[in-house]
Amino acid sequence: MDGNFRIGNGYDIHRLAAGRKLILGGIEIPFEKGLSGHSDADVLVHALMDAMLGALSLGDIGCHFPPSDPRFKGINSLELLKKVHNLVKNKDYCVINIDTVVQAERPKLKEHIPAMKDMLSEVLGLDKARISIKATTMEGLGPIGQGEAISASAVVLLKSV
């Protein structure tokens, strides 16, 4: 299987809610609302995990970490990312590169992207040059554009080792 490549694609969306911290890419971002969900609702990390799982046909994060399981209530999504990364390694694959997009009308994320890249680099043991995080708005359209939600998409390239 030497030289075998796999590509995965992931997506996640969560509503914004008062009384929650906004966690994206494993870092807390100052904002008046956070994302609602069973875990910390980090849509960027969730999309990335789904991309990694999808690349190896291992289902999605709901299969591995069901919201009905109290063990995952409020959990830091980086802890789940470590588990997914271990699944990838146990299948004899490694992450080659990651490309992500966060869709949010507010807050502006540009200044937080370097810290998000640092965090993902640390957790995955991946050079920051192999991690792309982009942010865009929805130009006022739909629930994201109206400030009701934030979403993220991710593509990952894996290579057999």
pLDDT per residue as tens digits for the range 78-100: 999 999 999 999 999 999 999 99
Going by pLDDT thresholds of 50, 70 and 90, the confidence category of residue 1 is very low
Sign of CA dihedral 44, 49, 54, 56: positive
Query: Residue 8 and residue 51: Cα distance in Å, rounded?
Result: 4
Please determine, for residue 104, whether its predicted confidence score (pLDDT) is greater than 90. Answer: yes
Task: Report the pLDDT value the prediction gives residue 3, as an integer from 0 to 100.
Answer: 61
What CATH fold (topology level) applies to the domain 5-160?
60s Ribosomal Protein L30; Chain: A; (3.30.1330)
Pairing of strands 131-136, 34-35: unpaired
Q: How far is CA 46 from CA 16, 17, 125, in A?
A: 16, 18, 18
Going by pLDDT thresholds of 50, 70 and 90, the confidence category of residue 105 is very high
Pairing of strands 5-17, 34-35: antiparallel
Domain boundaries, the chain: 5-160
Strand partners of residue 118: none
Contact in structure between 123 and 116 (CB atoms under 8 Å): no
